[in-house]
Amino acid sequence: MISAWPEYDEKLSFKAEQEDFAKVVDAIRAVRVQRNELNVPPSKKVTMHIETAETELFSGAKAFFERLAGAGELTVSKDAPTGDDMVTIVTANARIFMPTGELVDKEKELARLEKERKAAQKDIDFLSGKLNNQGFLSKAPAQQIENERAKLARAQEKMEKILLSIEKMK
């Protein structure tokens, strides 16, 4: 209570390090988003190759990639790896490559997506039928009709995303 208020010390400001670490955080965030989109469990370790001009920075952050992005084997270089079957993640400072075969089992993922597609189609058919029923439209309150239209729009959007994912997998 009676101590002096702390004063700012320029020597304790690490602006360059903060900016460098923000680059690493952006790359880890992008990897995690991609893994989430592909339904890869966080516990699954994946080989990663990082192409960047800042090799020293990303090499020094290897532990963060292993712990936070699920990297098994991590390679950092100034050139892209060879191979066609790679998922590519692009950030402002790096490109990260992960072998598709390590991320997902194509057959299982296609089966799961097909199951989701059928469920989404069932929702679309049900909601379309409801909205095309003149009895429902004449008796239902306007708010409920709007809610059903919004549900139909969300279901159609979900269907588009599922079809896009199926196309990407093939």
Domain span holding position 85: 14-103
Q: Which of 85, 103, 121 is the last residue of a domain?
A: 103
pLDDT, greater one: 166 or 49: 49
Please count the structural domains in the chain: 2
| 132 and 84 both lie in a single domain | no
Per-residue confidence band for 21, with pLDDT thresholds at 50, 70 and 90? very high
State the chain's mean pLDDT as an integer.
89
Nearest to 49, CA basis, from 62, 64, 67:
62
Q: Is the full-model pTM beyond 0.85?
A: no
User: Are residues 138 and 98 both part of a single domain?
Assistant: no
pLDDT at 24 exceeding the cut of 80: yes
Reported as a pLDDT band with limits 50, 70 and 90, residue 26 is very high
Which amino acid makes up residue 65? F
CATH value at residue 141:
1.10.287
From its phi and psi, is residue 92 left (phi > 0), alpha (psi between -120 and 50) or beta? alpha
Residue 123 above 80 pLDDT?
yes
| Per-residue model confidence as pLDDT tens digits over 69-82 | 999 999 999 998 87
Residue at which a domain ends, from 70, 103, 136:
103
Question: Quick one: pLDDT at residue 18?
Answer: 94
Cα dihedral 86, 74, 106, 169 sign: negative
* CA-only gyration radius of the chain, Å: 24
Question: Is 38 domain-assigned?
Answer: yes
> Is 163 within a domain?
yes
- The b/e string for 80-92 (b: 16+ C-beta within 10 A; e otherwise) is eeeeeebbebebe
- 54, 85, 103: which is the final residue of a domain? 103
d(CA 49, CA 68): 15
Please report which helix (H) or strand (E) contains residue 110, including its range: helix 106-132
Q: Is the pLDDT of residue 65 over 90?
A: yes
